[in-house]
Amino acid sequence: MRRAPLVLAATSLAAFTATLDNTVVAVALHDVQADLGAGVTGLQGVVTGYTVALAALLLTGGTLADVLGRRRVLLTGLVVFAGASAGCALAGSVSSLITWRVVQGAGAALVLPGSLALLAAAYDEPARRARAVGIWAASGGLALVAGPIAGGLLVAAYSWRAVFWINLPLAALIAGVALTCPGGGRERGRRLDLPGSVLTAVVLGFATYAVVLAGRDGVGGPVVGCLVVATVAAAVLAR
């Protein structure tokens, strides 16, 4: 398909942008603390809110891309992600910033699987599709490395709010390309298993949060509690 390279560029940019926000905010935390008077717990919430929401909803986002349509889910995710990024940039309190970070992570959980599904539909040949998916995955990996550098430059040149404002033009560019891409339909015969999706989100969300807490505070009551919830939800899901 002649548009395949353009689709690859747009979806790789989507993977880069959604993954970038995992790390780009780290270098802005000092300025956030000074501007909003955030404590250590609040700053940790700014970071983990995005990570936990993304991890919890990522598989559900992939299912929605199959059920509702690849392009529709990608565009919806971009709207949510961009809107939440604006909310983060305009936040006047730590609690507001954390809330918008959670919503931003939920949007990214739609952007990542939606972009991957759209990319896979653009390539008919398995070998070319595999190379394209490899580039898409590498874009996300590059974002993890580039996040602190990009964040530092934006904070130094403008303010911590620029870390979030930059997402708006990127999301608009990706959406513009996605609107012209074929292969954005849904898979026939697929349906959304709502109870299964909810349980999967609970398992992934609590398990991820347990890992975050263990790395921050060590293994204690809260970590064990999260793991118990994740284990019970996993058992119910299997049943």
Contact present, 205 and 58 (Cβ < 8 Å)? no
pLDDT at 105: 93
Cα(153)–Cα(160) distance, rounded to whole angstroms?
A: 10
Cα(76)–Cα(193) distance, rounded to whole angstroms?
A: 20
What is the torsion angle, in degrees rounded to the nearest 10, for the CA atoms of residue 79, residue 85, residue 88 and residue 89? Answer: -120
Residue 109: C-alpha distances to residues 95, 96, 153, 177, 182 (Å): 21, 20, 26, 19, 22
pTM equals: 0.85
pLDDT at 169: 93
Considering only CA atoms, give the Rg of the chain: 18
Per-residue pLDDT for the chain (239 aa), expressed as one digit of tens each? Answer: 567 888 888 889 999 998 888 888 888 888 899 888 888 888 888 888 998 899 889 888 888 888 888 888 999 999 999 999 999 999 989 999 999 999 999 999 999 988 888 888 888 888 888 999 999 999 988 888 888 888 888 888 889 999 999 999 999 999 988 887 765 566 666 677 777 778 888 888 888 878 777 766 677 777 788 888 888 888 888 88
